[in-house]
Amino acid sequence: MKDDVTVVTGAGGGLGSKLIKILAAAEAIVVLVDQNIHPIQKLVENLQQQGSQTTA
């Protein structure tokens, strides 16, 4: 999945956040979408620090 663009809706929930980590580990470009930006901001920051191409 390297460099494939993926969009995860409901990214702030438990299942969404686990899926994001799996996709990031597979080197996908991950776009996080949720009704509330606050739960996913920290997740995006953490993944970016690890070198993942992630945005919310």
- Whether residue 55 is predicted with pLDDT greater than 90 in this model: the reply is no
Average pLDDT over residues 7-29: 89
| Mean pLDDT on 3-19 | 87
Q: In the prediction, which pLDDT does 49 show?
A: 92
Q: Give the pair of three-digit tokens for residue 54.
A: 């992630």
Sheet holding 29-33, edge to edge: 5-9, 29-33, 54-55
Quick one: which of 3, 24, 26, 35 has its CA closest to 43?
A: 24
Number of domains observed in the structure of the chain: 1
- pLDDT for the residue 26: 93
Domain that holds residue 50: 5-55
pLDDT (average), residues 4-32 = 89
Rounded to whole angstroms, the Cα distance separating 38 from 48 reads 16
Q: Calculate mean pLDDT across residues 13-30.
A: 89
Mean pLDDT of 23-35: 91
Cα–Cα distance measured from residue 4 to residue 15, given in angstroms and rounded to the nearest whole number? 20
